[in-house]
Amino acid sequence: MIFRQDAFGRYNKQKVIRYTLVNQHGTKISVLNFAGILQEFSVLDAGKRRQLLLKSDDLSNYTDNDLYLNHVVGRTAGRIKNASFPLNGQNISLLENENGNSLHGGPQGFSFQFFQVEQADDRGKIVLSKQMTVAEDGFPGDLLLTVSYELSEDDRLTVTFAGRQTHADGVFNPTLHTYFNLADDEVGDITGHNLWLNSDQHLAFDASKAPDGHLIVNQGPYDLKNQPDLGKALEQLQKTTSEGGFDDVFLLDQDNRAGTDPAAVITDRSSGRQVRLYSKRNAIVAYSADAIDRGLTFNHGAARPWAAMALEAQTAPNSENIPSLGDVVIKDGSAKTFSIDYQYCHL
């Protein structure tokens, strides 16, 4: 395993450092100390380096927009309705940052923070940590978040989130906001991909895009378990939805919770490149970048709708207000750990 680090610009007058691991097959990951961004996940295919993520070598493409492009997201992922929720008989009020809701941990969440790099070495692991206090982001209690990126020699990336809560009960529902496009760089969208999801239901939303607790059976373009062709699904959604694509919470089947079978499989049909995603949590948010800023530029060229598919493995959002969607409470003095695995394969 090869390890190196280099400068990656500055943000808010602080140095951004990129940490890179390369395994014996040439598979590479790069992680930034700002927002824990997974800046690169790439492989060698027929001697050429191929990116699996939407990627840029310009820091501004990660910071000057609302994509959360490959960011660590926390303390909670997704929307919390009205930026508030009940906890221990009290109403917790948060900072809002989208349509009156708290989105992805609010405006001061982990996606906007610098992490300490505790360990970055040739053993295949990069470990970042950040202590968040109630004074910083408004969530109850203090949370120490540790995020480890571990690359194996069989091309498996394991991202582990460990949270330790102190001073009050709180909530903990982190994810990595990964945007996948497995095609060659000259292919600017994901219409040539398949996306298989181990899901039979998705969540209904209210007008603010917060889940309202109602479940919808996956049919038509949402039935990605049986009809995984993204090009066909996106064409239908463009005609029938205001988003013009996916921005949906898919509930994972109960048999997925063991984590032994993939929760999602994304495949570029032309190249045969594939990533299998494993998670023991109950949901995946799928977002097809329909509202992407066309002024941005990435490895696939000028940004356009459907440039990539974000896959966010997590407990269903807004479960703070709707306990039937999942338990995200973390008790004072306790710790919780979640992992997401991304296994690269070539068909």
User: What is the three-state SS of 120-174?
Assistant: ECCCCEEEEEEEECHHHHCCCCEEEEEEEEEECCCCEEEEEEEEEEECCCEECEC
Computed from CA positions of residues 69, 71, 74, 77, in that sequence, does the dihedral angle turn out positive or negative? positive
> How deeply is 342 buried, as exposed, middle or buried, from its count of CB atoms within 10 A (0-12, 13-18, 19+)?
buried
Tell me the three state secondary structure of residue 78.
coil
Q: What are phi and psi of 303, to 5 degrees?
A: -65, 145
DSSP character at residue 229: B
Determine which one of 40, 104, 150, 177 is catalytic: 177
How many residues make up the chain in this entry?
A: 347
Question: Left if phi > 0, otherwise alpha if psi is -120 to 50, otherwise beta: which for 134?
Answer: alpha
Determine which one of 40, 150, 312, 320 is catalytic: 312
Is 312 a catalytic site residue?
yes
The structure tokens 């009809």 sit at 227
Is 98 a catalytic site residue?
no
**Catalytic positions, written as ranges:** 177, 312
